[in-house]
Amino acid sequence: MAGSNRNLLVLPGDGIGPEVMNEVRKVIAWMGKKRAVGFDIQEDVVGGSALDKHGVPLSDATMKTALEADAVLFGSVGGPKWDNVEFDKKPERGLLRLRKEMDLFANLRPAKVFDALVDASALRPEIVKGLDIMIIRELTGGVYFGEPRGVTTLPNGEKEAIDTQRYKSSEIRRVCAVAFELARKRKNKVCSSEKANVMHTGVLWRQEATKLHQESYKDVELSHMYADALAMQLVRWPAQFDVIVTDNLFGDILSDEASMLTGSLGMLPSASLGAPDATGRRKALYEPIHGSAPDIAGKGLANPIAEALSFAMMLRFSFDLGTEADLVEKAIENVLAAGYRTADLLGGKSEGVKKVGTQEMGDAIVKELDRLA
Ligand code: IPM
Ligand code: MN
């Protein structure tokens, strides 16, 4: 829609990315038609598909468009076709470049259990029912980007690989601030996680979190937990958590773990946010937590809900369209309550549910939006 003032870059990527994005396009179109919420959409390639087309997993032109967009909606990247490309050309590098150059340091990964799906979780219903936690993962620092890194050959001929974990006070403070701010709008609890028992970055992380808390967020309850213990507590008693804030690598791992509490990796959206500029606008990228799932790509089996919920997060965080975001989330909740399940959500169950493919799930969501509006 021309002149909407909402510039959106859509990057479907590889594997199931394009399939789930097709369904979200239906939701985007619905917003334009039924709610007069239009977007100026540009679409481009990223990951393996960019490598095939341009020889790099993210072209400079696409990077520039992303920096100028109000928001980026991302699918997924990677697949066996590109398993053997050199390190700097791996499809994942495209996504990492976007995160780094857009300075998207705060990655919000909510894990919310829909009532209809309590049985799909690997944990007992009484442990996960009503669960609503938010993992905030630092996204532009730590071992993902720390220098020095690389592989060298030692004088004796053997190889040595190096990755470096490093964090500055300012990097820790800014992501912890996002956690405290968000907690205030939720249950007012932050659990900061690192391994201060063995890592210098962990010691600094704990110090900075504590200091910032003392300076500006005393009203929020702050606790600290080693990342290994947190991994254990997440499956033992997840409801003890509200907001969890942690570094890039621990956040990557713990958010995958948290996703299984909700029943499927196919359910979880995420928002990656930068610092607000002078006008309050944050650079932002929205993506499902799941990957490109090459094993089911092209078969119409993928669950489009994580991508749709990522779009809902975009409505809420980038465009202040809370009512519209609620509508999308409510439609998804209702569709699940009505028994619609993609394969990943079945958990061995077939009674009282309606097994659907990617497109049918997308259509069901749009139909429910029509009913709700
Ligand atoms: C994620 C993914 C990425 C990561 C990959 C695709 C680079 O696993 O978003 O969690 O490791 O951050
Ligand atoms: Mn991951």
Residue nearest to atom 12 of ligand 1 (CA): 252
Domain edges within the chain:
1-114+263-373, 122-262
Fold classification of 122-262 (topology level): Isopropylmalate Dehydrogenase (3.40.718)
Alpha helices in the chain (DSSP H): 17-35, 48-54, 60-68, 91-101, 125-128, 169-184, 200-216, 227-236, 248-261, 305-317, 322-337, 358-372
Active site residue 144: yes
Ligand 1 atom nearest the C-alpha of 270 is 9
Ligand 1 atom nearest the C-alpha of 77 is 6
pLDDT tens-digit series, residues 104-147 = 999 999 999 999 999 888 899 999 999 999 999 999 999 999 99
Q: What is the pLDDT of residue 119?
A: 87
The one-letter amino acid code at 341 reads R
> Which ligand gives the minimal distance to the CA of 287?
1
Active site residue 252: yes
Distance (Å, whole) CA 226 – CA 307: 31
In the chain the first and final C-alpha atoms are separated, in Å, by 21
Q: What is the pLDDT of residue 72?
A: 98
Say how many CA atoms lie within 13 Å of 130 toward its Cβ: 5
Q: What is the pLDDT of residue 3?
A: 58
Asked if 1-114+263-373 and 122-262 have one fold, the answer is yes
Of 6, 73, 1, whose CA–CA distance to 319 is shortest?
A: 6
The one-letter amino acid code at 34 reads K
Q: What is the pLDDT of residue 11?
A: 98
3-state secondary structure of 13: strand
Ligand 1 atom nearest the C-alpha of 107 is 9
Of 137, 134, 117, whose CA–CA distance to 262 is shortest?
A: 117
Q: What is the pLDDT of residue 47?
A: 98
Pocket of ligand 1 (CB under 6 A): 92, 95-96, 252
pLDDT tens-digit series, residues 45-76 = 999 999 999 999 999 999 999 999 999 999 99
| pLDDT above 90 for 263 | no
Contacts of 134 (CB under 8 A, 6+ apart): 108, 109, 110, 111, 182, 186, 242, 243, 244
Token pair listed for 178? 């996002």
Statement: the pTM of the whole predicted model exceeds 0.85: yes
pLDDT tens-digit series, residues 274-297 = 999 999 899 999 999 999 999 999
- Tell how strand 271-276 and strand 282-286 pair up: antiparallel
3-state secondary structure of 68: helix
Mutate to test the pocket of ligand 1, among 93, 252, 255, 292 (most ligand atoms within 8 A of CB): 252
Of 38-47, 252-261, 291-300, least confident by mean pLDDT is: 252-261
Of 166-180, 256-270, 287-301, least confident by mean pLDDT is: 256-270
CA distances in angstroms from 260 to 105, 133, 345, listed in the order given: 24, 13, 11
Residue with tokens 């509508």: 327
Distance 23 CA to ligand 1 centre (A): 22
From the candidate CATH numbers 3.40.718.10, 3.40.50.720, 3.30.1330.10, 2.60.40.420, the one assigned to the domain spanning 1-114+263-373: 3.40.718.10
Of 227, 222, 237, 181, whose CA–CA distance to 201 is shortest?
A: 227
Distance (Å, whole) CA 312 – CA 326: 8
Stretch 201-220: mean pLDDT? 98
pLDDT class for 1, splitting at 50, 70, 90?
very low
| Cβ neighbours of 167 (radius 10 Å) | 23
Token pair listed for 200? 């210098």
